[in-house]
Each structure stands twice: as C-alpha cells, then as structure tokens.
Amino acid sequence: MPNPSPSSASVVSPEVADALAAGRPVVALESTLLAHGLPRPENRAAADQVEAAVRAGGAVPATIAVLDGVPHVGLTAAEVDRVCADEELAKLGVRDLPVAAALGRSGATTVSSTALLAARAGIGVFATGGLGGVHRLASETFDESADLVALARTSLVVVCAGVKSILDVPATLERLESLSVTVVGYRTTRFPGFYVADSGSPVDWSVDSAAEAAAVFAARRDLAPGAVVVANPLPADQQLDTRLHDRVIADALAAADAAGARGKDVTPFILGHLHEASGGASLAVNVRLVLRNAELAGQIAAELAALSR
C-alpha cells in the first residue's frame, strides 16, 4: 500500500513514546540483523530474546523497521512477525529510506538507517551485533559499509561486539579513526572480533562500567555530532572456536566471490554461508553476542537517563 503523503515522519509505539516523554531509558534495535542476518524461523525467537535482554538491562526496547513506507520505532508482535517472516523484505540503508517512504515500501533497517531513525526519535543508545565496515579486498571493490559514515554523523551510543570478522578489521578501525567516531572497549583494550573475543587489533580506550560509557557519550554529545562505539567482547569461553572460525570464514568469502555476490547482498550471503558451514555454531554465537550487547545497552541507557535527571 503506497504511503499517501510521502514523508519521513516515524510512527513511535505508545510504550516507546511514553518512555521518551518521561525521560526513561530506551534502546533502539535494528531489524536487518533479524531479517537478513539470522535465518528464518530462528530469527523470530531471537527478536523476542533481544527485546527481553534490553528490559533486563533496565530499558524499553524500540525495534525499528519501515512498514509500507512508514518508519516504525517500536514494533508490535505482529509487526515483528512480519519483519521476520517476509522473504522479500528489502534491506534499507540511509540512502534507501527516501525511496521506501515515497513508494510505500517495507524494509529492514541496517545500523546506518536505524541509527538515523533512532537519533531523530530522541533515542540515545542502540544495540546491534557487529558493525559493518571495510570489506577485505575493498581496495579493489570499494566495498565499505555505509554504517561507518552514518556513525560519523549520528549522535548515539552503539553497543556492538566490534565489527564483523568477515571484514578487514584493521582497515575498518582506520576508517573509524578518520571519521572521528569515538571507540571504547568495554572492560577490554582488545578490539573484539564479533564471533571471537579478540580481533587481533587493540583499542585505545576502555570503560569499566555502563556509567562510564554514558559519561563518554554525554561528553561527546556536548562537543560534536557523532557516535560512541562501545565494543563489548564475548567472554573467551563463549566465543566461536577460533580454528572453526578461521576455516569457515575463508570458505564463506570464497563462496561469496564464486557466487558473484555484490552490494548489499554480500554481508547476508557470507553470514548465511557461515551459519550453514559451522553447523549452526556461528548462529548460536551471533545470537548470544547480540543478547549481551542488548543488556549492556539497556544499562547504558539507564545511566544516561540518570545523568539527564
């Protein structure tokens, strides 16, 4: 159904709107990770678990998606069903939002578009799995996720387990530096590697508590627009076996190349291949790290709300 008067105004769910109006903590959640990053039907249970983890951290979850051209901040159960079940659902970055709005299309939002819609709704904290970034061989393909530039422009805290380890992690860290995105490790000085605790690269700064993370963001917000990335590693005993990790990633990258995957299909292709090639092990780890990030994001949002009181 086309959107009768194309606009980018969002519909905010009553629970999220009430929390924001009262200054209570809210955490934004993206929908691309549900629709394109996790397989059906496992994604549906994960969606509920992630929202529950945000509540356990002390905040109200606001899952974001575009439905029939209208950005929704906070979804009903039926809307989450739709996002998780629709095989044709588009993957929407920032540049796709105006097209979806004008043509009345539906889609799942990535880190870049979720961050934008969350910040516009007045939400200060966002949880995801792993950021997009610079792909391996980007010097030939120019494949760099729009997540990076979006985070340079958007004021919010993003809690993640680093960037996806299918990427060129050192190059991604260089780009985050160029773009002046603030990056802190959560209780670590090793940059996490998504499925694994340590990507092999260091991170300059670390915070020891949700309160410190909130204070870093409050200081950043006063200074300049842009995100604070809180990089939250999995504990080593919960990570994907590192030998399995290295083997299946090499396989998945080769398969993506052989299949000629391009553009926005690259990341979902590789993640899907990994989940199959690891016999579901990468899927379990992916869900686990998202849940940990969601809970920490809830705690940071609670600290941020307390700072503003």
Among 96, 143, 212, 303, binds Mn ion (CB under 5 A): 143
Q: How far is CA 37 from CA 134, 183, 268, 282, in A?
A: 17, 24, 6, 11
| Residue 21 DSSP SS3 | helix
239 binds, among ligand PSU, Mn ion, none (CB under 5 to 8 A by kind): none
- If you count them, how many residues does the chain have? 309
Q: Cα–chain-centroid distance for residue 295?
A: 14
Decide the pairing of beta strands 90-92 and 11-12.
unpaired
Is 96 a binding residue for Mn ion by CB under 5 A? The answer is no
Among 25, 57, 130, 298, binds ligand PSU (CB under 6 A): 130
Q: Is 146 annotated as a binding residue?
A: yes
Among 3, 13, 16, 36, binds ligand PSU (CB under 6 A): 36
| Residue at shortest CB range from ligand PSU | 129
Q: Of 90, 123, 110, nearest to 221 (Cα)? A: 123
Among 17, 46, 111, 285, binds ligand PSU (CB under 6 A): 111
> From the candidates 51, 144, 164, 303, which is the catalytic residue?
164
Give the separation between CA 155 and CA 151, rounded to whole angstroms: 8
Residue 307 structure tokens: 């700072």
Active site residue 164: yes
Strand partners, 62: 28
Residue 218 structure tokens: 């409050």
Among 51, 96, 147, 212, binds ligand PSU (CB under 6 A): 147
Q: Is 143 annotated as a binding residue?
A: yes
Active site residue 264: no
Is 278 a binding residue for ligand PSU by CB under 6 A? The answer is no
Angle, helices 281-307/210-223, rounded to nearest 10 degrees: 70
- Per-residue interface string for the shown chain with Mn ion, residues 197-216, x marking contact by CB under 5 A: --------------------
Q: Which residue, 110 or 299, is less far from ligand PSU as judged by CB?
A: 110
Q: How far is CA 42 from CA 34, 36, 81, 247, 300, in A?
A: 9, 12, 12, 24, 27
Is 128 a binding residue for ligand PSU by CB under 6 A? The answer is yes
Q: Of 7, 22, 15, 1, nearest to 309 (Cα)? A: 22
Q: Is 139 annotated as a binding residue?
A: no
Is 71 a binding residue for ligand PSU by CB under 6 A? The answer is no
**Residues with catalytic roles:** 30, 164
Report the interface residues with ligand PSU, using CB under 6 A: 30, 32-33, 36-37, 110-111, 128-130, 132, 145-147, 264, 267, 271, 286, 290
